Structure 1
Amino acid sequence: MVQIKKLTLATVAGLFVANSVMATELTVYTAVEAEDLKRYAEEFNKAHPDIKINWVRDSTGIVTAKLLAEKNNPQADVIWGLAATSLLLMKSEGMLEPYAPKGVEKLDKKFVDKSTPPTWTGMDAWVASVCFNTVEGEKLGLKAPTSWKDLTKPEYKGHVIMPNPNSSGTGFLDVSSWLQMFGEEGGWEYMDALHENIARYTHSGSKPCKLAAAGEIPIGISFAFRGAKSKAEGAPLDIIVPEEGVGWDMEATAIVAGTPNMEAAKTLVDWTVTKEANVMYNTGYAVVAYPGVAKPVEFFPENLLEKMIDNDFEYAANNRKAILEEWQKRYDSKSEAKS
């Protein structure tokens, strides 16, 4: 009996060692909000404790530039949570591994790359909006703007903050949507006029709304969920949906071509399209890829979804480099220092 017990313990110990040896580490590049990363890894590891995620996190523009710089010597295994426009650019460069995750057919089709098999799958969408601090606005005698064009009025000079599109995905969706809504010439004319009123450009898409919520600026161009979250926490904000329409983008996932950890990468990407994963995304985003999952978000603007423009992601991806270079040349003088 004792011998059997010893044998059993030895067997268990051997299995434990074997499992430890078999454990795989994945380097995952992301632009997901830093506060959410621990939760993402914990939820995934409930189903797959044998795969460890090593996060490399930064803003959208910086992660995109890093991936492009590493094109010939990839360091990431998976991209989990980066703008679809960035992934479309990488797709055109042959940097992504085509793969149809298990269950991908259950997602809303607009969240899935049109290639067969797809090279990326969407997770959630974030939508532009304006955060207006009603208390600070009243102190300054400012009325709440109702349109993008309103933000160019003289009374708003020095009272507007928006994200830098070179570092922020939210900033890029703003710029690319203005060029689509107002036309190439009209879009740059609009941004010239808006620039006159900008106090500074941030390197984070959520920061303008956070600053408006804190009363440091009356107007922050950001995204709607951040505004709704800040308002739910008690900030005196109006979340404004400009009448011309609003740009949007989606966070998406892909496998980096050539990863030596392909099976583990596929396991992770399979999990990212599950209903469980989309329920998790819904705690940070009001619009998710899995139909029927999203729950109503307190203070989320009721008319926002109908104001989302018919975004041309191919245009945004194919012209990204030229758009960012032109923006940099015209407006970067007001960008805040990078930390």
Structure 2
Amino acid sequence: MKKQGILLGVLALLALAGCSAHTQTAVPASQIKPQVQVTEPASDPGSLTIYSPLPESETSLYCSAFHKDTGIDVKCIYVSAGETVARLAAEQDAPKASVLLGGSADNYVQMRKDGLLEPYQSAELTDVPEAYLDVYGVWNPIYIGAICFVCNEDWFAQTGTPLPQCWDDLLSPALAGQVVLTSPETSGTAYTILATLVQLRGETAAWDYLRALDQNIGQYTKASTQSVDLVKTGDYAVGVVFYHDGRRAMLDGYPVSLHIPEDGTGYEIGACALIRGGPREEQQNARQFINWMTSPRGQECYIEAKSCRLPANSMARAADGLPALQDMNLIAYDLEWAGRNRSRLVDTFLHEVRGEP
């Protein structure tokens, strides 16, 4: 009897369990809420607009590298060095760009005087030699470039003409119509050449020299890169350009050689700066771009771009084969004086040398 009671109790429990299993109510699939992991969208790093007189092949590489590092989209608009002041003055009330990239600090001096630039100094400037810094704290140095002669070796070999080694060599009758030069009205390179000759020889002697040189000029170009193109293809024998522009033609395999004037040459400090009153939403990105461009990371992009520019940042690696500044006969180039006298010297050049009213 005791065993029967235990057996009946077990059976009763099993029956209840079975009944419970069959009486559970299933939840409709339409009522089941999926477990969705919600993530905040990544913040938009924004964009940046810059003006630059540098070749597009260079600026596109710099902007792409900056975008890769920061996610910031950069739009670069080409503006020649000679047109920069007029462009920024015309847009003074509502500038369309936030950063000016490249070109000689001579131009930046004039734009600083005209109130077109916003003072800003990158923290990366601690590794830039003091001689290249802006004492007014407006523009930031990013490269150095010396004036030289770029010569088509084939032309000189075929004619037996000696390669020019000093400024007076460009006056040789053998070079009549064979010299190509940029105009200081549009080119920062040409203005550096003009200011160099005035500082090297004095104004009276400089105007005499430039009038004599004009007799050998085959063409005045708008930009120094155009002068290099005309020499490397043999259209002209010699051009006066920045060393880095001529060096690039050498790397591309053209028959050119570069010669730094033995009697003294000038140089530029390439710069970048904030444009006063640029788009408000771009201001943080503009400062970040200047910080990047003054850093070793930004200036080592010169190597990949084959721009052959000498970095202003002493911690940045330079391309192989570039001459050291101490090996050149550089004059004590006064860029503040050059900047203050730019308009006057350009007007005098157009009147005294080009014969314009």
TM-score by length of 1: 0.88
Q: Which amino acid aligns with 2:343?
A: K
For the 8 Å contact 2:295–2:316, the answer to whether it is kept is: no
For the 8 Å contact 1:239–1:301, the answer to whether it is kept is: no
Counterpart among 233, 238, 248 of residue 257 in structure 2: 238
1:93-104 alignment runs, 5 A limit: 93-104=114-125
Partner of 2:80: 59
Counterpart among 293, 301, 311 of residue 288 in structure 1: 311
Which consecutive unaligned segments of at least 5 residues does structure 1 have? 335-339
Partner of 1:137: 156
Aligned pair 1:297/2:315, yes or no? Answer: no
Give per-residue Cα distances to partners, 1:20-59, cap 9 Å, x unaligned.
Answer: 4xx422221111111112211111112210x321211132
Aligned pair 1:166/2:189, yes or no? Answer: no
Partner of 1:329: 351
Shift of 1:162: 0.9
Give per-residue Cα distances to partners, 1:51-109, cap 9 Å, x unaligned.
Answer: 32121113211223312332344222111223211111111122221122233222222
- The separation in 2 between residues aligned to 1:62 and 1:173, in whole angstroms, is 15
How many residues get paired? 321
1:252-271 alignment runs, 5 A limit: 252-259=271-278, 260=280, 261-271=282-292
- The separation in 2 between residues aligned to 1:35 and 1:145, in whole angstroms, is 30
Secondary structure of 1:61's match?
helix
Partner of 1:218: 237
Shift of 1:274: 1.3
Partner of 2:210: 191
- The separation in 2 between residues aligned to 1:179 and 1:173, in whole angstroms, is 10
Partner of 1:207: 226
Aligned pair 1:106/2:100, yes or no? Answer: no
Label 1:270 to 1:293 Cα distance change in 2 as closer, same or farther (>3 A): closer
For the 8 Å contact 2:150–2:231, the answer to whether it is kept is: yes
Shift of 1:2: 7.2
Partner of 2:67: 45
Of residues 154-163 and 100-109 in structure 1, the stretch that sits farther from structure 2 once superposed is 100-109
Partner of 1:3: 34
Partner of 2:330: 308
Label 1:329 to 1:304 Cα distance change in 2 as closer, same or farther (>3 A): farther
Secondary structure of 1:249's match?
strand
Label 1:295 to 1:258 Cα distance change in 2 as closer, same or farther (>3 A): closer
Partner of 2:46: 24
Q: Which has the larger radius of gyration?
A: 2
- The separation in 1 between residues aligned to 2:143 and 2:325, in whole angstroms, is 18
For the 8 Å contact 1:107–1:273, the answer to whether it is kept is: no
Q: Which amino acid aligns with 1:138?
A: A
Aligned pair 1:175/2:194, yes or no? Answer: yes
Q: Superposition RMSD on alpha carbons, in Å?
A: 2.2
Q: What fraction of aligned residue pairs are identical, expressed as a percent?
A: 24
- The separation in 2 between residues aligned to 1:64 and 1:305, in whole angstroms, is 34
- The separation in 1 between residues aligned to 2:149 and 2:338, in whole angstroms, is 21
For the 8 Å contact 1:135–1:236, the answer to whether it is kept is: yes
TM-score by length of 2: 0.83
For the 8 Å contact 1:83–1:249, the answer to whether it is kept is: yes
Partner of 1:337: none
Shift of 1:302: 6.3
Aligned pair 1:125/2:125, yes or no? Answer: no
- The separation in 1 between residues aligned to 2:332 and 2:90, in whole angstroms, is 31
- The separation in 2 between residues aligned to 1:253 and 1:63, in whole angstroms, is 12
For the 8 Å contact 1:85–1:313, the answer to whether it is kept is: yes
For the 8 Å contact 1:97–1:119, the answer to whether it is kept is: yes
1:266-281 alignment runs, 5 A limit: 266-281=287-302
Secondary structure of 1:206's match?
helix
Label 1:324 to 1:2 Cα distance change in 2 as closer, same or farther (>3 A): farther
Of residues 310-319 and 265-274 in structure 1, the stretch that sits farther from structure 2 once superposed is 265-274
Secondary structure of 1:74's match?
coil
Of residues 88-97 and 288-297 in structure 1, the stretch that sits farther from structure 2 once superposed is 288-297
For the 8 Å contact 1:206–1:223, the answer to whether it is kept is: no
For the 8 Å contact 1:124–1:281, the answer to whether it is kept is: no
For the 8 Å contact 1:286–1:297, the answer to whether it is kept is: no
